[in-house]
Amino acid sequence: WPERLYNHDAEDPEGNLHLGETDHGEDVEINRRAAESDLIIYVNINLVTMDGGHKSVPVGLGTYRSVRPHHNVKTMLTSRSYMDPATSSFGASCDRMGAVVAERVRIFTIETTLNSETFPAALGFLQTREADWGFAQKAGFGVSSRALRMMPFGLRRKFYNMLPAPYGVTAVNAGMTGPVHDRTLEEVHKQQLVKVEGQADIMLVGLPSLGPYNVNSILNPILVKCMSAGYFFNFYRGKPLLRKGGVMIVMHPMQEAFNMVHHPSYYDFYHQVLPQTRDPAEMEGELENGFAVNKRYIDLYRNSYAYHGVHPFYMWYWACHGMDHMGRVIAVNPECPQVAERIGFDTAPTLERAIDQAKEIVGRNPQISYFHCPPVVMCDVS
């Protein structure tokens, strides 16, 4: 750095090149250096089925102009599962854009898949069923659930962020983007696909403090919404784990906390946009562009370590499909109840009370499914 290693800058006026439009009128604009190269070598890790494929170059090296066509309310509402490319409007848009890129740019794609070893051996119990925990984990010997609960939240977060995941590689495929990604999806499904009989009336989710948008940072309230109603709801192929009108119950601290280096526009979105509206369509039509072209956010994105100013809007839209499908989301014992209210969740003091509240919506004898994560799983619901 900076001669041979540098980040893509989506706001560099001279650093991006418009390649054309898809047959749906979607603008395709990517990094100029990549577009004018003889060859792009794309290397990734596919942690979930939404990663990789034609989401790689058109999105990863795109600009606001070329991200808007698929990161929008209409696309999110009509995508069904974002994690199932075959039924995803989002995935279809990326494929169309990828075809335009492929006409102009040679790309050699290398995609890798991993197993689910999220924690080192001392904390391996965190990715097993609680019923399978040994005496040491339950009683408090060594690193245990009790010891972790005794840590202050900030120290616990720092501890988690320092842990290297002992992932192992399950496959490496290389060649043309489309055929490579087909094999990649097969490998991810081998690792993550779980057969489930029937949909649930109530879905229990223990939400982790780590996600794709808060590495070395905080899972702020907007990202809590994205992770629960966006990611966790959409971990399915075919039918959702939760039936239409069902209730998701979320366990997470829900603190009113933001990292002002990484997420400055998130803070403003939470304090300025959400008091006005939680309606994604209204946000998109009236407020999104102001954040997207805000000079302060652009400067922090280009010259500091901030996400793009428009990013919190897209994370909010990411929850569109889930929120439209579910009858209610209930947060259990949040540290800041006003956070749950601000992002549109109900609250309950205990899990038992949350289930009672859910029964008022789904009926007295609900089918309850517990989505245990880690490891990440994809529900294949019959």
Q: How far apart are CA 244 and CA 248, in angstroms?
A: 11
Nearest to 63 by CA among 104, 7, 22, 9: 9
Check: CB of residue 107 under 8 Å from CB of residue 54: no
Question: Which DSSP letter does residue 309 get?
Answer: T
d(C-alpha 206, C-alpha 210), whole Å: 12
Instruction: Quote the longest CA-to-CA distance of the chain.
Output: 64
204 — pLDDT class (breaks 50, 70, 90): very high
Which one, of 75, 79, 82, 45, lies nearest residue 60 by Cα? 45
Instruction: Check residues 159 and 273 and name the one with the higher pLDDT.
Output: 273
pLDDT band of residue 143 (cuts 50, 70, 90) is low
CB 12 within 8 A of CB 298: no
Cis peptide before 13 (omega within 30 of 0): no
Q: In one letter, which amino acid is 278?
A: R
For residue 108, count CB atoms less than 10 angstroms from its CB and return exposed for 0-12, middle for 13-18, buried for 19 or more.
middle
Summarised one tens digit per residue, pLDDT across range 320-350 is 999 999 999 999 999 999 999 999 999 999 9
Most confident range (mean pLDDT) of 104-108, 135-139, 154-158 is 104-108
pLDDT at 149: 74
**Pairwise CA distance, residues 267 & 284, whole Å:** 18
Angle at 126 between CA 124 and CA 130, to 5 degrees: 115
Distance CA 111, CA 319 (A): 27
Percent of the chain having pLDDT more than 90?
A: 81
Please give the residue that has the higher pLDDT: either 119 or 240: 240
